[in-house]
A and B are shown apart, each in its own frame.
Chain A
Amino acid sequence: MIRNRRAAALFLLAAFAPVLGVPREAVAQTQGAPQPANPSSLPTRRASFAWDNTLLRAGFSFRDVVDKPLAEKLSSGLPNVILMRAYVFEEGRSEPVALAVRTCTVTYDLWDDIYRVRVSDPNGVRNVPKINVDGVLRECAEAHDLPIVDRAILEKGHPHFLGVLVEVNPISPAMLQQIRQWVQRPTGSTGINPGDALFGSFVGIFVRQIGTSAASLSFRTQSFTP
């Protein structure tokens, strides 16, 4: 029964996301996205939790997902995406009961010398200019009062925690498939027999370099009890 209620809650979350104010692109980013396989065993990171009436808000930092090369890449003039997914789990279970998503797209404006940041999260979509990388990270690699879940969805008296996945420049499954198909095709493999394809095997070596993102980070928070 409880399991069914959770499934229904997730379904309703997805179905009514636009009505609830979750941006469509944030929902799209989560489609086909991996969940933490064993969330309770992830490294623990402190988070702040607060109740805003019945709405749970959380604050935590994931600045370490952006290392020095990635920080430099933020100034490349091309868009960089920092995607954070915070799943709500009940302790002892591996199926999430709720999900909050934040997508941050950072583009350095070469001529105005500022970082144009587009944030999409449960609060809506907003464009925020930042003058330096530190400002970008404060906006995109930290969560402050992030709306997480309504208390009604949670099992009262049971401890819960957040399992957080952060990815930098994630690649959608559809594009990943297209890239892999494009990359792995051998150059000049006209032969039908194994011995005929002189150049048939080497390109596959490089397929492995194409991960699903440039960097990723996952952790869990301490427990909270609704």
Chain B
Amino acid sequence: MRARFAAFIAAAAVVVCGGAAHADPIRTWGSSQAPPATQGGAATSAGGASTPPPPPPATIGTPIEPVDAVPPTPASSAGDTEAVVRSPGHVGLRYVLEGIEVRGNTATLARVVLRYVPFRSGDTIDVDDSEIELTRFRLLGTGFFRDVNLSLRRGTHRGYAILVITVVERNTMVLNDVWLGLSADAEPNGAARPLTAYGGIDVAETNLAGTGITLGGAIAIADGQLALRTRFADPAFLGTSWTAEAQLLYNHARDFFGNEDVLVDDPTQQVTQDFAVANYTRFGGSVGAGHDIGVTTRLYVDYRLEKLDASLPLAASDHYGSEIVPINFFILPGSSILSTVRATLIHDTRDEPVLPTRGDFFTLVGDVSLTPLGSDYPYSKIQAHLSHWIGLPWAGHVLKLDAFAGAIFGTAPVFEKFYIGDFTDLLPDRVLDLNFDRRSAPNFLNNDISEIRYGDYALKLSAEYRIPIYRGTRSIYGIDFFGAFGVYSVADQNLITNPPPGYEGLAKLPIDLTFNFGLRADTAIGGFMFGVSNFLGFLPVRGAAPQ
């Protein structure tokens, strides 16, 4: 077991070394290139060969010299006249690119800016090329800059030009998420508690030391529970078009099993408790790579290795319908290893990330546990999630249709299973894989969904209607009222093939309803959602399980 864990540490070290290697200067575009021969087109130039170039204007930031420059070939008079090319019927001009100059970058390295520029010294640049404007938006899209402007200035010889990229940097420390809420959990001895608070925060520096690398961290805390994450992401790993990611995680977690009347064997005696409590820790990490497949689609592949240590009751039993059955904690007692490979496909055609009015967001995720490489949990898992936004023809109203389906085959650890609280809006979601709540499903339809907490199969269909109530252009861009309604099911193999005794007819179908309403806001510091269902979840509206 220790050897396998040491192997993970070695793998993590390789990732760190890879990141350090990336800090070295990368390629210098065009450094070995001579200006190419003049391209075709009508060659016109007035004024002969040797107009002296004007001195470069004062530089705002660093560097002063073109960061990507190639000395022009000593030009003959014929070459000089051919270097400026005018397309027939267009105002458009073409120049031989002598270099690229980056200005205004006090923190961001010039080579990081140049990653997003598709031109090289020696290229013939057509001023009408749409790539020039797209370059500006690529740079804005990094999130490193508040403004970006591109311009040309004369090169050292007629027909040559230097591309000047002027950037205005912005704060790149980003608050990604804040979690605050109330939950109903249990004491370490299994006694139910009415209310406890939980919270967490997620921050990231998206341009670490001007390298374009993202380094982030997150923490979630509840009574007796702690989750920590650090994540590294390089969107242009080693100057390539591949994204590289690495993450370290630590969870000290507690989970609750049973339904307010369980029998638990501890080492000395058998006692009756409200809930059986399982404690476990996770430590490990993942490394991965991602690549674009077209403008709207991206593929990621990750490898994960974790060491688990679980402290479980010797035995515990609970009601399953009208029967008493042993509780499965879905995690091995003592130490165990989890090793998986995950592939994620993302297809995103939304017009806006926070308050979309049209488009789709589709994710397909597949996990395979690598038992030949030492994983103690043989399983595979697949999840598909599709959201579709439809802009309605009246007053900016938007309808969102949402579908999720997932299945697990094999023996997955508890935190990989489908948790009922992730599908109903009336219970807190898991945060960084921590589960804060002991309650079962609300069970509005009074069926056997109250018997399940973690499942191997999950399905959810929902719709959300949004009504705009405010639109702005400064710090708050928009606020919408939303109302959502959905139906979901979580089940495992046992619930399907061996329904709990006491349920008849449609009550054997583990289906429940969920709803939420509140406000969604798009602001200068990100998107927010204020829903009321978490509080409504504390109202006693649940269906009762048969005893």
Which A residues contact B (CB, under 8 angstroms)?
73, 76-79, 105-107, 109-112, 116-118, 127, 175, 177-190, 192-195, 197-210
Counting CB contacts under 8 A, is B465 at the interface? no
**Do A202 and B245 contact each other (CB < 8 Å), given the known contacts A110-B161, A181-B296, A195-B179?**
no
The answer for the CA separation of A186 and B243 in the assembled complex, in Å, is 11
* In the complex, chain B residues whose CB is within 8 Å of the CB of A112: 45-47, 84
**B51–A195 CB distance below 8 A:** no
* In the complex, chain A residues whose CB is within 8 Å of the CB of B190: none
**A181–B295 CB distance below 8 A:** yes
**B141–A182 CB distance below 8 A:** yes
Point out the residue from A77, A186, A202 that lies within 8 Å of B151, measured CB to CB: A77
Give the interface size class of chain B.
Answer: 35 or more
* In the complex, chain B residues whose CB is within 8 Å of the CB of A192: 344, 363, 365, 383, 385
**B354–A204 CB distance below 8 A:** yes
**B130–A175 CB distance below 8 A:** yes
Point out the residue from A77, A79, A175 that lies within 8 Å of B161, measured CB to CB: A77
* In the complex, chain B residues whose CB is within 8 Å of the CB of A180: 351-352
Counting CB contacts under 8 A, is B114 at the interface? no
Smallest CB-CB separation from B244: which chain A residue?
A188
Smallest CB-CB separation from A114: which chain B residue?
B46
The answer for the CA separation of A180 and B342 in the assembled complex, in Å, is 28
**B140–A116 CB distance below 8 A:** no
Please list the 9 inter-chain residue pairs (A to B) with the smallest Cβ-Cβ separation, ordered nearest first. A77-B152, A204-B353, A76-B151, A183-B141, A188-B233, A202-B174, A118-B91, A116-B91, A179-B137
**Do A107 and B176 contact each other (CB < 8 Å), given the known contacts A78-B152, A210-B140?**
no
Central interface residue in A118, A175, A197, A209, by most chain B CB within 10 Å: A209
Counting CB contacts under 8 A, is B90 at the interface? yes
**A190–B134 CB distance below 8 A:** no
**A188–B214 CB distance below 8 A:** yes
Min CB gap A135→B, angstroms: 15
Min CB gap A115→B, angstroms: 9
**A188–B152 CB distance below 8 A:** no
**A76–B137 CB distance below 8 A:** no
Central interface residue in A73, A79, A127, by most chain B CB within 10 Å: A79
> Among residues 205 to 225 in chain B, which have CB atoms less than 8 Å away from a CB atom of chain A?
206, 214, 216, 218, 220
**B231–A198 CB distance below 8 A:** yes
**B141–A78 CB distance below 8 A:** no
The answer for the CA separation of A185 and B137 in the assembled complex, in Å, is 13
**A194–B429 CB distance below 8 A:** yes
Smallest CB-CB separation from B233: which chain A residue?
A188
Counting CB contacts under 8 A, is B388 at the interface? no
Counting CB contacts under 8 A, is B508 at the interface? no
The answer for the CA separation of A189 and B354 in the assembled complex, in Å, is 15
**Do A107 and B93 contact each other (CB < 8 Å), given the known contacts A112-B46, A184-B353?**
yes
Point out the residue from A73, A127, A186 that lies within 8 Å of B149, measured CB to CB: A73
12 contacts between A and B (CB under 8 A): A76-B150, A76-B152, A107-B93, A109-B93, A179-B137, A187-B214, A200-B176, A202-B526, A204-B526, A205-B526, A208-B473, A209-B140
* In the complex, chain A residues whose CB is within 8 Å of the CB of B296: 181
Counting CB contacts under 8 A, is B291 at the interface? no
Smallest CB-CB separation from A188: which chain B residue?
B233
**Do A105 and B91 contact each other (CB < 8 Å), given the known contacts A189-B346, A195-B430, A204-B353?**
yes
Contact with A along B131-169 (1 / 0, CB 8 A): 011100110110100110111111000110100000000
The answer for the CA separation of A219 and B202 in the assembled complex, in Å, is 46
Point out the residue from B137, B153, B158, B432 that lies within 8 Å of A210, measured CB to CB: B137
- With A187-B235, A192-B344 given, name 8 new contacts (CB 8 A): A77-B152, A116-B93, A185-B348, A188-B290, A190-B302, A198-B176, A198-B218, A202-B174
Min CB gap B409→A, angstroms: 17
- Interface of B, secondary structure class, is strand
The answer for the CA separation of A109 and B90 in the assembled complex, in Å, is 13
Counting CB contacts under 8 A, is B500 at the interface? no
* In the complex, chain B residues whose CB is within 8 Å of the CB of A175: 130, 133
**Do A111 and B51 contact each other (CB < 8 Å), given the known contacts A188-B243, A193-B429, A205-B143?**
yes
Counting CB contacts under 8 A, is B4 at the interface? no
Smallest CB-CB separation from B44: which chain A residue?
A112
Min CB gap B428→A, angstroms: 11
**A181–B204 CB distance below 8 A:** no
Counting CB contacts under 8 A, is B477 at the interface? yes
Counting CB contacts under 8 A, is B92 at the interface? yes
The answer for the CA separation of A78 and B129 in the assembled complex, in Å, is 10
> Among residues 74 to 107 in chain B, which have CB atoms less than 8 Å away from a CB atom of chain A?
84, 90-93, 95
**B176–A184 CB distance below 8 A:** no
The answer for the CA separation of A106 and B473 in the assembled complex, in Å, is 29
Counting CB contacts under 8 A, is B62 at the interface? no
Contact with A along B505-520 (1 / 0, CB 8 A): 0000000000000000
The answer for the CA separation of A69 and B303 in the assembled complex, in Å, is 50
The answer for the CA separation of A179 and B131 in the assembled complex, in Å, is 12
Point out the residue from A73, A107, A208 that lies within 8 Å of B477, measured CB to CB: A208
The answer for the CA separation of A182 and B353 in the assembled complex, in Å, is 11
The answer for the CA separation of A207 and B478 in the assembled complex, in Å, is 13
Point out the residue from B91, B128, B134, B161 that lies within 8 Å of A117, measured CB to CB: B91
**A107–B91 CB distance below 8 A:** yes
Counting CB contacts under 8 A, is B288 at the interface? yes
Min CB gap B102→A, angstroms: 16
**Do A190 and B176 contact each other (CB < 8 Å), given the known contacts A78-B151, A79-B92, A204-B353?**
no
The answer for the CA separation of A161 and B274 in the assembled complex, in Å, is 78
**A107–B353 CB distance below 8 A:** no
Counting CB contacts under 8 A, is B229 at the interface? yes
Contact with A along B33-47 (1 / 0, CB 8 A): 000000000000111
**B353–A193 CB distance below 8 A:** no
Smallest CB-CB separation from B302: which chain A residue?
A190
* In the complex, chain B residues whose CB is within 8 Å of the CB of A177: 351
Counting CB contacts under 8 A, is B313 at the interface? no
**Do A195 and B127 contact each other (CB < 8 Å), given the known contacts A79-B92, A181-B296?**
no
* In the complex, chain B residues whose CB is within 8 Å of the CB of A194: 177, 429
The answer for the CA separation of A206 and B354 in the assembled complex, in Å, is 12
> Among residues 454 to 501 in chain B, which have CB atoms less than 8 Å away from a CB atom of chain A?
473, 477
Smallest CB-CB separation from A195: which chain B residue?
B431
**A110–B152 CB distance below 8 A:** yes
**B206–A187 CB distance below 8 A:** yes
Counting CB contacts under 8 A, is B115 at the interface? no
Smallest CB-CB separation from A115: which chain B residue?
B91
The answer for the CA separation of A105 and B87 in the assembled complex, in Å, is 14
**A190–B51 CB distance below 8 A:** no
**A179–B176 CB distance below 8 A:** no
Counting CB contacts under 8 A, is B330 at the interface? no
Counting CB contacts under 8 A, is B17 at the interface? no
> Among residues 173 to 210 in chain B, which have CB atoms less than 8 Å away from a CB atom of chain A?
174, 176-177, 179, 202, 204, 206
Smallest CB-CB separation from A193: which chain B residue?
B422
Min CB gap B216→A, angstroms: 5
Min CB gap B268→A, angstroms: 38
Smallest CB-CB separation from B175: which chain A residue?
A202
* In the complex, chain B residues whose CB is within 8 Å of the CB of A184: 141, 348, 350, 352-353
